[in-house]
Amino acid sequence: MNAPVLPPLAAPAVTTREGWLLAFTDLARPQFEAAGAPLPDRVRVSVGFPSKGNRSKVIGECWYSEASQDHAVEVFIRPSLQSDSARVADVLTHELVHAALGKGQGHGPKFRKVAQALGLVGKMTATVAGPGWHEWADAILEKLGPLPGAQLDDQAQLEGGKKTQTTRYLKVTCDCCGWTARVTAKHLGLEGGVQQTLSCPVPTCDGELVQS
């Protein structure tokens, strides 16, 4: 599909990531109209971790209007993508296809048709920008300039945050009553080279805890 010629674009004055993402969304609306999948009026776009957390491999997520108290569609883009504005924008385009089609379509035939019409290529669950996408999106990116802010290293330890658990816990079982627990290698004396004997904590049991 040949992308329609965009009218001259005014450069919105954006100073925040959310402003940039919303500006891209609004300037991309004609492309979605031409692809037969107009975007809903109420769309919010933010930078944030997906619902499964920073350890998830999800880079973009669309929450449909049914989840919002004011019935707006909410899109989230992973903050570790922020160093590449074009990549952020093509991930946003993918999520906006979900927003346009609504709940229940997944990455099926309707999604494929619209995504390909917008120039997205590759596996539909993990699309990337193709030449057709750049035909219309590059003009928007040029007008908007770089995405404000900086990339967030989502694997870095945040000060005051919960530290990654590095201690390895070993399972021990009572050789008499079967009571189980997990203890550190230090408790078993394994780090010092001399294994210790731990007694079962059950008052009525005389068994010993052995590694299992």
Packing angle, helices 17-34 and 131-144, rounded to 10: 140
- Which residues, including other chains, have CB under 8 Å from residue 32's CB and lie 6 or more apart? 38, 39, 96, 100, 114, 118
Q: Is residue 75 within 8 Å of residue 88, measured between CB atoms? A: no
Strand-strand pairing, 198-199 and 208-211:
antiparallel
Q: Is the pLDDT of residue 4 over 80?
A: no
Name the one residue in this structure whose structure tokens are 């120039």.
Answer: 119
Q: What is the pLDDT of residues 46-96, one digit of tens each?
A: 988 877 766 677 889 999 878 777 889 999 998 887 678 999 999 999 999
pLDDT attached to residue 144: 93
Burial class (CB in 10 A: 0-12, 13-18, 19+), 8: exposed
Domain boundaries, the chain: 17-144, 169-211
Dist. CA 137–CA 27, nearest whole Å:
9
Burial class (CB in 10 A: 0-12, 13-18, 19+), 112: middle
Which one is predicted more confidently, 170 or 141? 141
Dist. CA 140–CA 19, nearest whole Å:
14
pLDDT attached to residue 69: 77
Beta-bridge partner residues of 184: 169
State the average pLDDT over residues 198-206. 79
Question: What does DSSP assign to residue 172?
Answer: E
Q: What is the mean pLDDT of the chain?
A: 81
Sheet holding 73-77, edge to edge: 43-47, 73-77, 60-63
Q: Is the pLDDT of residue 33 over 60?
A: yes
pLDDT attached to residue 164: 47
pTM above 0.75, yes or no: no
pLDDT attached to residue 37: 96
State the average pLDDT over residues 150-173. 60
pLDDT attached to residue 140: 96
Q: Is the pLDDT of residue 31 over 60?
A: yes
Q: Is the pLDDT of residue 162 over 90?
A: no
Q: What is the pLDDT of residues 169-196, one digit of tens each?
A: 788 887 777 788 887 776 666 554 445 6
Q: Is the pLDDT of residue 97 over 80?
A: yes
Q: Is the pLDDT of residue 104 over 50?
A: yes
Looking at 102-130, list the stretches that DSSP marks H as alpha helix, in order from N- to C-terminal side.
109-117
The fold of the 17-144 domain, in CATH, is: Zincin-like (3.30.2010)
